[in-house]
Chain A
Amino acid sequence: MSMEEFKDRNVGVQNYRMLDLEPNPETGMDKFKQVVKRSVKLELFTGLKVTFREMFNALFRGEMHTTKYPFEKLPISPRYRAIHEMKRLLESGHYRCIGCGLCEKICIANCIRMDTRYDENQRKEVSEYTINFGRCIFCGYCAEVCPELAIVHGGRYETASEQRASYSTFEDMLTPLDQLAQQSEYPGFGAVSADADEKIKKTPLAY
């Protein structure tokens, strides 16, 4: 399935067609005529034809619509907003989060809680970072406000778990170090646009 279907939001411009329904018969003779016409035209067999065609297409032309869900999954939009992910810097593998606290500030559900401290190099490091997913409304403001593209939304929508705390600590959300090569940028809410490079202008030094 291509992404075109997700991008096509123009629901109002398809070719709708009015059904050419006949008016309801008024008199007994009209009813009789309608019955005779329908019987002679074998309208009922059109219905049989349609269902048989669907069965044939489903069985032999691969148009079965079922997705065996736990085993197969439909592709979701890359902009889908599910459980958050914490990204790392590609070169060093260090987490991108600079501990600015903007996500905590902007969170309208008040579900992000973070603590920071200065490490031995006088750099800010994140000592505590949790998101309460019982409260999170997945609005995407945290991803939008993050200046470092550090917190983004991932595609993990199966969030049933035994504990409320699952998935929600910093380490759970952080890209595992061995999968750093597969880390991809998030194209959704708050991401840099595709033509961001062209838009960058050099700041004049004399300014």
Chain B
Amino acid sequence: MDGYIVGTIIKAILVLAIISALAGFGTYIERKILAFMQRRLGPMHVGPYGLLQLAADGIKLFTKEDFIPSGANKFIFMLAPVITAATAFIALAAVPLLPEFNLFGIEVRPIISDLNIGILFVLGMMAAGLYGPLLAGMSQRNKWGLLGSARTAIQFLSYEVVTGLSLLAPIMIVGSLSLIDFNNYQSGGITHWLIWQQPLAFILFIIAGFAETNRTPFDLLEHEAEIVAGYATEYSGMRWGMFFIGEYANMITIGFLAALIFFGGFNSWGFIPGGLAIILKVSFFFFLMLWVRASWPHIRPDQLMWLCWKVLMPLAVINVTLTGLWMMI
């Protein structure tokens, strides 16, 4: 039992360190990919190919003045970024990151806690993350921030519905909420992937995932052209950095969820071993988010709501109904 606790703590620290490092690295990748798609070079001058730009940004974020506006609610203002970053990492606790492997004779399961309600826990935590932008926007006494938090409310709350409904059909097929069970269900190779049974659910999930991670084309929360920086207008330094890390950790989580639920998870894929397979899949989804950001304009809030309630939600309900009928017959 002691070994279990120690192991869990080690795993939690490792996940926190690796994912926050990856989130920082994600900003570099994002700048590079966006630059390439616009035929630019991106960061080039700090270190080889601009790799040390990360360190430069980190130093800048840590040493920047920690600014709290005079009219702000100080406690909530300081709490909000912590909520975003913390929930993003807590959500990862129920996500199996890699297949099981042996390290010094001990069998390691790279999941912090294999909950039997894994998906619900992850979705719940990501939904709780919306309190970060919401409270941040409302506490800072800034009109842009208020608009940003209003948009947070409409966007995140609506798209939670679509995420949940779209995942309901795969959950019905697999009959479990644990992500490990999802992975094992698809262990029979590429033809057993749930994407072939549930293509519509996948499309709905990825659209809702883009909305929940606040990515283009649904980046209404802090769209610079309209509301300066939205909920993050008054934030600077490491508090702003925590929002950023939370957002990128959420992107990685969505990538893991999509890979685990629809794309065969960490089962080995032909000659590719399972660990590499899931990293490739998550990398693809991360790349897809950047790719979409480089390609598409973002939509208006009213279009966002129209898409959610009048298109995606009916489609999700139809999908669930059809899946249920198909399972009965």
Interface residues of A (CB under 8 A from B): 35, 44, 47-48, 50-52, 54-55, 57-59, 63-66, 68
Contacts and interface: CB of A to CB of B under 8 A. Distances in A.
Contact of A68 (B38, B41, B292): B41
B40 A54 contact: no
Given A47-B296, A68-B44, A54 B38 contact: yes
User: Nearest 4 pairs between A and B by C-beta?
Assistant: A47-B295, A58-B39, A66-B41, A51-B37
Given A48-B291, A52-B291, A55-B33, A65 B296 contact: no
B132 to A, nearest CB: 29
Given A55-B36, A58-B36, A64 B295 contact: no
A9 B153 CA distance: 53
B294 to A, nearest CB: 5
Give the interface size bracket for B toward A: 10 to 19
A121 to B, nearest CB: 56
A57 B37 CA distance: 9
Give the secondary structure class of A's interface: helix
B292 A48 contact: yes
A47, A51, A64, most chain B CB atoms within 10 A: A51
Given A44-B296, A47-B295, A52-B291, 14 more contacts: A35-B311, A48-B291, A48-B296, A51-B37, A51-B291, A51-B294, A54-B36, A54-B37, A55-B33, A55-B37, A57-B39, A63-B39, A65-B40, A66-B39
B291 A54 contact: no
Interface string B19-44: 00000000000000100111111001
18 contacts: A35-B311, A44-B295, A44-B296, A48-B291, A50-B295, A51-B37, A51-B294, A51-B295, A52-B291, A54-B39, A55-B33, A55-B37, A58-B36, A58-B37, A58-B39, A64-B39, A65-B40, A66-B39
Interface in B131-153: none
Interface string B39-81: 1110010000000000000000000000000000000000000
Interface string B287-329: 0000110111000000000000001000000000000000000
Contacts of A50: 295
A35 B294 CA distance: 22
A55 B32 CA distance: 10
B33, B38, B39, B44, most chain A CB atoms within 10 A: B39
A61 B39 CA distance: 11
Contacts of A55: 33, 36-37
A59 B38 CA distance: 11
Given A44-B296, A48-B292, A51-B291, A59 B36 contact: yes
Nearest to A31: B306
Contacts of A35: 311
Contacts of A44: 295-296
Contacts of B41: 64, 66, 68
A52 B41 CA distance: 15
Contacts of A54: 36-39
B291 A64 contact: no
Nearest to B41: A66
Nearest to B296: A47
Contacts of B37: 51-52, 54-55, 58
A57 B38 CA distance: 10
Contacts of A66: 39-41
Contacts of A59: 36
A65 B37 CA distance: 11
Given A48-B291, A51-B294, A55-B33, A64 B40 contact: yes
A44, A50, A58, A63, most chain B CB atoms within 10 A: A58
B231 to A, nearest CB: 27
Contacts of B33: 55
